[in-house]
């Protein structure tokens, strides 16, 4: 099997420099104590949006860590998961429902959020998850974890809390533990950072009332006015469109948060190095090859493998990316020197979100494999099983040694661009009956509380206001005909049969109570 192409600062890198002085120092956010008052005030006045984050799905994290060379990442079906800044648990609870033999712990300093998380766990009958009210500055771990999720925290807290988060990463990870940490990155975030004060000023100015009066509407208006005649105008339009898409729920906690502190990758790497941690790669495989880069650039950048920090920082400069979801492990974690493409044989595969690779030069066996993958629909099945089906279709034309190597290499590269989804285990989408629609107990609780659902791929599923009444009634006891009549009365614009089919396609309808776990195949 061919070896995966090494990328400077990629799999298993221990960065040699601590305190790299080649990049501008950050403007420090010094506050006494833990989370500062403006942040506390925001979270006391507004509820953090209920969201799941597919990038933190531990099945995908296990794949990304294994591809990066970590020899024995814990299997999601039997592991310990910890999340800092869990809010109301919308990200962690669906994982606990999917993996009943694993242990989950969520920590947040908002007692209101933790109370809501505990209520959801009770309503869903989950006994493998607990939530703690704690300030990270004073919290002490009681046991190691195999997966640590820190999403939406590091760039949004003062420096004292940043330091504590990184300290805890070094303390809490098990021997083969993996931390997934999200943060905004420089230089890509720099324009967005400079746009925020002006958007905020326009939203507050009576003279600019025609732009809408909120940061989201002002951003949308600026996007419409920016044009695209110059590079700056093109970039400004993209930034403002991105802000407008996030909406009024998310913007106060992200771009317009009291603390929104982008980092150079070099700074993040320095913090990791000082705590005995090593960088594995990005949580999404395709983010190791960020969009917007000419494929030829990888050959030209290859010599920078000797300077991994500069390599990664150059990638961020060329791609303009504004956000990372980086994976860390302990420096003494067991790693392979170079992972081969045969690693995909340990995973399950399904259709990804990106377009398939160009067909020119594609191995004939890959074409048959694509047909096999298309036939399984939305399921994610073991790669070995998919290869066996491919071999069966080729009949006597299948050469076990040559074709398995070709196919492994093709699957690996397709996964690197997002055309194939790799998971640590199979995912068979539930096919619940549409006769008496049934949502999982957890999703029914979400709908009763006006929150979005979460599908088996850990994606957030939003619905128009009012539709949660129909969703909450999907407890398996009400015939679809009765629900359709109710929809016709209360939501005459809703095409109910089509909507119900959409729920089924997303895997939100389960066969029977408790079936939320049934779509995991060991």
Average pLDDT for 237-245: 94
Tell which wins on pLDDT, 35 or 387: 387
With 80 as the cut, is the pLDDT of residue 222 above it?
yes
Tell which wins on pLDDT, 292 or 435: 435
Contact 344, 388 (CB under 8 A): no
With 50 as the cut, is the pLDDT of residue 490 above it?
yes
**Cα(311)–Cα(10) distance, rounded to whole angstroms?**
9
Average pLDDT for 96-105: 98
**409-431: b (≥16 Cβ within 10 Å) or e:** bbbbbbbbbbbbbbbbbbbbbbe
Average pLDDT for 390-409: 92
Q: Which CATH homologous superfamily contains domain 37-187+262-330? A: Vaccinia Virus protein VP39 (3.40.50.150)
**Cα(487)–Cα(282) distance, rounded to whole angstroms?**
43
pLDDT of 376 = 92
CA distances for 115 relative to 98, 107, 356, 427, angstroms: 22, 11, 44, 31
pLDDT tens-digit readout, 2-23: 555 444 445 455 554 555 656 6
Average pLDDT for 66-84: 96
pLDDT of 31 = 47
List the single range of 337-341, 381-385, 421-425, 451-455 with lowest mean pLDDT.
337-341
Residue 74 has which token pair?
A: 């814990």
**Cα(390)–Cα(369) distance, rounded to whole angstroms?**
6
List, as one string, the DSSP characters of 467-510. Answer: HHHHHHT-BSSS-HHHHHHHHHHH-TT--HHHHHHHHHHTT-S-
Average pLDDT for 109-136: 95
List the single range of 302-306, 387-391, 472-476 with lowest mean pLDDT.
302-306
What does the domain layout of the chain look like in residue ranges? 37-187+262-330, 190-248, 348-423, 441-521
Residue 218 has which token pair?
A: 């002002």
Counting residues of the chain whose pLDDT is more than 90, the rounded percentage is: 72
Counting residues of the chain whose pLDDT is more than 70, the rounded percentage is: 90
pLDDT of 255 = 92
With 60 as the cut, is the pLDDT of residue 108 above it?
yes
Average pLDDT for 141-160: 94
**314: exposed, middle or buried (C-beta count within 10 Å: 0-12, 13-18, 19+)?**
middle
pLDDT of 295 = 79
Average pLDDT for 426-443: 90
pLDDT of 28 = 55
Average pLDDT for 225-230: 88
List the single range of 16-30, 95-109, 285-299 with lowest mean pLDDT.
16-30
pLDDT of 522 = 44
Band (517; pLDDT cuts 50, 70, 90): very low
pLDDT tens-digit readout, 323-351: 999 999 999 999 988 788 999 999 999 99
pLDDT of 38 = 73
Report the mean per-residue pLDDT for the chain.
Answer: 89
Question: Element (H or E) spanning 25, and its range?
Answer: none
Average pLDDT for 455-461: 96
pLDDT of 396 = 84
With 50 as the cut, is the pLDDT of residue 367 above it?
yes
pLDDT of 36 = 58
**Cα(433)–Cα(511) distance, rounded to whole angstroms?**
6
pLDDT of 432 = 74
With 80 as the cut, is the pLDDT of residue 73 above it?
yes
Band (33; pLDDT cuts 50, 70, 90): very low
Beta-strand pair 323-330/173-186: antiparallel
pTM recorded for the entire structure? 0.91
């Amino acid at each position: 099997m061919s070896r995966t192409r090494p990328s400077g600062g990629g799999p298993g890198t221990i960065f040699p420099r601590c305190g790299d002085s080649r990049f501008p120092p950050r403007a420090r956010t010094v506050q006494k104590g833990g989370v500062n008052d403006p942040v506390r005030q925001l979270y006391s006045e507004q509820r953090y949006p209920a969201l799941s984050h597919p990038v933190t799905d531990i099945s995908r994290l296990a794949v990304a860590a294994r591809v990066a060379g970590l020899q024995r990442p814990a299997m999601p079906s039997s592991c310990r998961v910890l999340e800092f800044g869990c809010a109301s648990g919308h990200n962690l609870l669906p994982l606990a429902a999917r993996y009943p033999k694993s242990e989950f712990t969520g920590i947040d300093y908002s007692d209101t959020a933790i109370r809501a998380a505990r209520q959801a766990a009770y309503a869903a009958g989950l006994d493998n998850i607990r939530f703690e009210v704690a300030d990270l500055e004073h919290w002490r771990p009681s046991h190691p974890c195999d997966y640590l999720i820190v999403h939406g925290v590091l760039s949004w807290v003062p420096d004292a809390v940043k330091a504590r988060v990184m300290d805890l990463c070094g303390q809490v990870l098990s021997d083969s533990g993996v931390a997934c940490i999200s943060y905004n990155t420089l230089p890509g975030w720099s324009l967005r950072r400079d746009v925020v004060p002006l958007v905020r000023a326009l939203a507050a100015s009576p003279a600019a009332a025609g732009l809408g009066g909120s940061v989201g509407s002002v951003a949308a208006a600026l996007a419409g006015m920016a044009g695209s005649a110059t590079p700056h105008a093109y970039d400004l339009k993209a930034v403002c469109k991105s802000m407008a898409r996030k909406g009024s729920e998310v913007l106060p906690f992200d771009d317009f948060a009291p603390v929104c502190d982008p980092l150079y990758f070099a700074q993040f790497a320095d913090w990791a190095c000082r705590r005995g941690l090593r960088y594995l790669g990005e949580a999404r495989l395709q983010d190791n090859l960020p969009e917007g880069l000419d494929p030829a650039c990888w050959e030209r950048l290859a010599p920078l493998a000797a300077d991994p920090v500069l390599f990664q920082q150059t990638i961020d400069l060329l791609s303009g990316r504004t956000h990372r979801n980086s994976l860390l492990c302990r420096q003494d974690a067991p790693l392979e020197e170079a992972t081969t493409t045969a690693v995909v044989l340990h995973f399950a595969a399904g259709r990804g979100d990106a377009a398939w690779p160009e067909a020119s030069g594609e191995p004939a066996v890959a074409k048959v494999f694509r047909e096999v993958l298309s036939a399984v629909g939305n399921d994610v099945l073991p790669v070995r099983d998919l290869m066996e089906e491919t071999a069966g279709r080729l009949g006597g034309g299948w050469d076990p040694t040559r074709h398995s190597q070709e196919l492994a290499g093709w699957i690996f590269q397709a996964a690197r661009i997002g055309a194939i989804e790799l998971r640590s285990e199979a995912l068979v989408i539930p096919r619940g009956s549409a006769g008496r629609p049934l949502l999982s107990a957890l999703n029914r609780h979400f709908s009763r509380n006006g929150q979005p659902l979460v599908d088996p791929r850990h994606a957030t599923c939003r619905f128009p206001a009012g539709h949660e009444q129909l969703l909450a009634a999907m407890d398996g006891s009400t015939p679809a005909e009765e629900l359709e009549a109710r929809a016709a009365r209360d939501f005459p614009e809703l095409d109910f049969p089509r909507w119900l089919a959409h729920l089924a396609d997303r895997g939100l309808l389960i066969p029977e109570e408790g079936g939320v776990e049934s779509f995991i195949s060991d």
